[in-house]
Amino acid sequence: MAVHFTFILVLFLVLIFALRYIYNVLTKPGLKVSTILNKDKPILTLSASILVEKLQNGELRSEQIVQTYIARIKAVNGFINVVVQQRFEAALDEAREVDKRLENLSESERKAVFNAKVLYGAPFTCKEAFGFKGFAQTGGLVRRRNTIASKNAVVVQKILDAGAILLAATNVSELCMWWESTNCVYGRSLNPYNTEHIVGGSSGGEAAIIAAAGSVIGIGSDIGGSIRMPAFFNGVFGHKPSPRMVSNLGQFPVNCTEAAELMLSTGPICRYAVDLTLMLKVMSSDADFKKRLESNVDIDKLKFYSIDNCGLLASKVSPELLKAQEKVCQFFGKKIGASVTKLELPLIKHAIFIWLTKMSVMGGPSFGEMLFGVSNRATGLLSCWEVLKWCVGQSDYTFPAIRLAAFESLKNVLPKSLEQNSLRNGENLRVEIEEILGEDGVLLFPSHPSTALRHNVPIFKPNNFIYTGIFNALHLPVTQVPLGLDSNGLPLGIQVVAARNNDHLTLAVAEALEREFGGWVPPSLDAIT
């Protein structure tokens, strides 16, 4: 009897401790990053496009710009842990070389330099998953801690060739397959608007350092929302291009199957909408795509459509985000005079099944194989073993990654008819949306059902990424646009979707929304609840 009583008492104490821990996690106040100093505002609050213009005109020097951004990174990174590798001295040397070259050039000679190198002397950052020669390229995996990139990723090289200067690499989620950027190599990244909240993933570090004004332009990749979710949670712009418009080569992980090329997109994350187009012109090698980016878009002649939910097994959109979306609809309907139609697409309720099926038939190595570095047959048992190790703090893997590998090992027990039905639903939904949008339509869609959650909470809402992920499965271009802050000081936003290869439409709408709603809002230092 005494043994039973003792056992019950221990269980009760453990339960009380657990509940108290969860309460503290969910109620602990956070911090915002430090306010931008007045002396730095003339540089840190300018778009990359304007910085380059001022460099060309001789109003600013590259060393001055790079030094200001380095100082800002040093000021904020201790709060948010997003920059994981840096090359500050090398960047300053490169900036001095830029200034030295420009010093004695005539106006026409300067113009020729900047026509050839449209980002000449401007700083940028990139997601750690992209190779930069000499940098570690771990993808957040402990077993790759000593893996050093031997060459630059294709997109990194293109930005370097345009004259930009790399400052640093930023944190990712483990194997770039979760929507909170934490791993056992670099730790957890924190949101600059409230450090008790997530930055998103997998390009979470990149979006956060841009939001914190430690960078102005950067590179991310997106297979389920990995550009757009972090951009949304951190109140900046992010664009998932149409498939194959920007090279995915040179990042880890990357799958080179045809199906993977349709799902995965490399794209820009920027603080200002105007820089999205500039970056895409640099990042892409497709001449027709770059020509379309230069097309004039008459906003008031576009057709606008709106959807405010994403079907089964995902949370409903919060009232504040619904209100923000309604304001966007009112802006286009009343101020611009465009037509805004609310859509009902029954097939959207199957979104999570469509994305999961597209991922499962993509080909190439499985997530478990890439995570553990073993054959697919062993990943199920290894996942179970790693769960046990994780429970006692001995695993080199995060719980979301282990869980995903375990669930993935069960996919072969699902009936083939479910797979075929999901693929059919996905294709039918893609055709339906593209026929509705045509060459002059855009769809307004929630970026996520809530603003940035507290750390670890995504574990209990695993399917909410589908608000972004569905458009990877449908192969459509999407721009995430910030819309100010909610009542808790966290960023609001919306996605703008177009038919494939009509990226220029979503980018033009993003610029219009930035003018109306203000775009990026700087976080500032103070304790918040």
Burial class of residue 369, CB neighbours in 10 A (0-12, 13-18, 19+): middle
CA distances from 337 to 300, 301, 302, 329 (A): 6, 9, 10, 11
pLDDT per residue, tens digit, the chain (529 aa), is 554 555 465 456 545 645 554 555 556 678 788 889 899 999 999 999 999 999 999 999 999 999 999 999 999 999 999 999 999 999 999 999 999 999 999 999 999 999 999 999 999 999 999 999 999 999 999 999 999 999 999 999 999 999 999 999 999 999 999 999 999 999 999 999 999 999 999 999 999 999 999 999 999 999 999 999 999 999 999 999 999 999 999 999 998 899 999 999 999 999 999 999 999 999 999 999 999 999 999 999 999 999 999 988 999 999 999 999 999 999 999 888 998 999 999 999 999 999 999 999 999 999 999 999 998 778 888 999 999 999 999 999 999 999 999 988 776 666 788 899 999 999 999 999 999 999 999 999 999 999 999 999 999 999 999 999 999 999 999 999 999 999 999 999 999 999 999 999 999 999 999 999 999 999 975 433 3
pLDDT by residue (tens digit) across 96-112?
A: 999 999 999 999 999 99
Per the rule left: phi > 0, alpha: psi between -120 and 50, beta: everything else, 311 is left
Note the pLDDT of residue 428.
98
CA 81 to mean position of chain CA atoms: 16
Burial class of residue 528, CB neighbours in 10 A (0-12, 13-18, 19+): middle
Question: Which tokens is 481 given?
Answer: 């646009």
232: phi then psi, degrees, rounded to nearest 5: -65, -50
The whole model's pTM is what? 0.94
> What's the 3-state SS for 461-495?
CHHHHHHHHHHHHCCCCEEEEEEEECCCCCEEEEE
Amino acid identity at 351? A
Residue 202 a catalytic site member: yes
Question: Which tokens is 379 given?
Answer: 């990943």
Residue 127 a catalytic site member: yes
Please, are residues 268 and 239 in contact by the beta-carbon 8 Å criterion? yes
Please, are residues 152 and 124 in contact by the beta-carbon 8 Å criterion? no
Contacts of 122 (CB under 8 A, 6+ apart): 48, 51, 52, 55, 62, 65, 163, 164, 165, 216, 217
28: phi then psi, degrees, rounded to nearest 5: -65, 130
Q: Which of 62, 189, 215, 226 is catalytic?
A: 226
The CA radius of gyration of the chain, in Å to the nearest whole number, is 23
Residue 34 a catalytic site member: no
Q: What's the rounded Cα separation, in Å, for the pair 2 and 14?
A: 18
Note the pLDDT of residue 311.
81
Amino acid identity at 296? N
Q: Which of 49, 62, 189, 202 is catalytic?
A: 202
Amino acid identity at 529? T
Question: Which tokens is 289 given?
Answer: 């795509």
482: phi then psi, degrees, rounded to nearest 5: -75, 145
Q: Which of 47, 49, 62, 127 is catalytic?
A: 127
Structure letter (DSSP) for residue 315: P
Q: What's the rounded Cα separation, in Å, for the pair 225 and 69?
A: 27
Q: What's the rounded Cα separation, in Å, for the pair 466 and 464?
A: 5
Note the pLDDT of residue 161.
98
